[in-house]
Copies of this chain bind each other. A is one copy, B any other.
Amino acid sequence: MYEAILKHVNQHIAITEKEEDYFKSVLVSAKIAKRKKLVQPSTFVKHEYFVVKGCLIGYYLDDKGNKHIIQFAIENWWIGDFDAFYNGVPSKFYIEAIEDSQLLAIQYDDLQQLFKTVPKFERYFRILVTSGFISLQGRILSSLQNTVEERYIEFCKAYPTIEQRVANYHVANYLGVSAESLSRIRRKSVKKS
């Protein structure tokens, strides 16, 4: 259960067995079935989630009911609504499982206590959120500079293994293109490889 998250933590910081035990004690195991929602707009968000197994999407539904996928999360990613979680404002997103998923959740107060008790975790989360910032900025840049084909290739690099797991229309939505355009691009890149 904890193997993946401890391996992930140890890639960034070195923690003792005692610190490991403390960290495990603040994690809560959670299962979520495909199509179920973890977070809904206009609610308060008390947890962040580490994906042990499965796949989730974070999306925004606009006034006209159009869905905009902002984030995918697969194994070893953290997902949550950071604004709602850190600033105590109501969520603006949906977070939904698109596969049956196994998660580890951490509550806001427990995370703050973890920072006090084992300050090394400041470093772990600093590194993660810095990567998150860079990918988000990369996503903005990518939409300005690249063709849809290039953006699709970048997407496959950022989320390896996701291609076989996620419906075409989810990827198309994330890239901001029609499912038909994406199918054409996928066929083209299969031919090339």
Contact = CB atoms under 8 A, between A and B. Distances in A.
Interface residues of A, number: 30
Nearest to A82: B134
Contacts of A132: 133
Contacts of A83: 134, 137-138
A140 B86 contact: no
A82 B138 CA distance: 10
User: Secondary structure of the A side of the interface?
Assistant: helix
Interface stretch (A27-35, A118-126, A185-193): A118-126
A37 interface: no
A136 B137 contact: yes
A123 B115 contact: yes
Contact of A86 (B60, B125, B134, B138): B134
B133 A82 contact: yes
7 contacts: A70-B137, A82-B130, A82-B137, A86-B134, A119-B119, A129-B133, A136-B140
Given A60-B145, A115-B123, 13 more contacts: A62-B144, A63-B145, A68-B144, A70-B137, A82-B130, A82-B133, A83-B137, A119-B122, A129-B133, A133-B133, A136-B136, A139-B140, A140-B140
